[in-house]
Copies of this chain bind each other. A is one copy, B any other.
Amino acid sequence: MSRFQELVVEHGREIELQPGDHLFAQGEHDSRVFMVKSGLLKAYYIRVDGKEHIKSFLPEGSIIGSMVSLVDGDPCSFSLQAIEASLAVALPYSTVQQAAQSDIELANALIAFLSTYGKRKERREYELLSLSPEKRYAILLAEMPGIVERVSQADMAAYIGVTPQALSRIRRRMSR
Beyond A102-B104, A108-B100, A114-B114, whether A124 also contacts B125 by CB under 8 A is yes
**A172 interface contact, C-beta 8 A:** no
**A116 interface contact, C-beta 8 A:** yes
> Which chain A residues in 74-114 approach chain B with CB under 8 Å?
77, 100-102, 104, 107-108, 110-112, 114
- The chain B residue with its CB closest to the CB of A125 is B124
Main secondary structure of the interface of A (DSSP, over half): helix
- The chain B residue with its CB closest to the CB of A49 is B130
**A51 CB contacts on chain B under 8 angstroms:** 130
**A34 interface contact, C-beta 8 A:** no
Interface size on A, residues (CB 8 A): 36
Q: How near does chain B come to A73, taking the closest CB pair, in angstroms?
A: 12
**A125 CB contacts on chain B under 8 angstroms:** 55, 121, 124-125, 128
Beyond A125-B125, A128-B129, A130-B47, whether A114 also contacts B107 by CB under 8 A is no
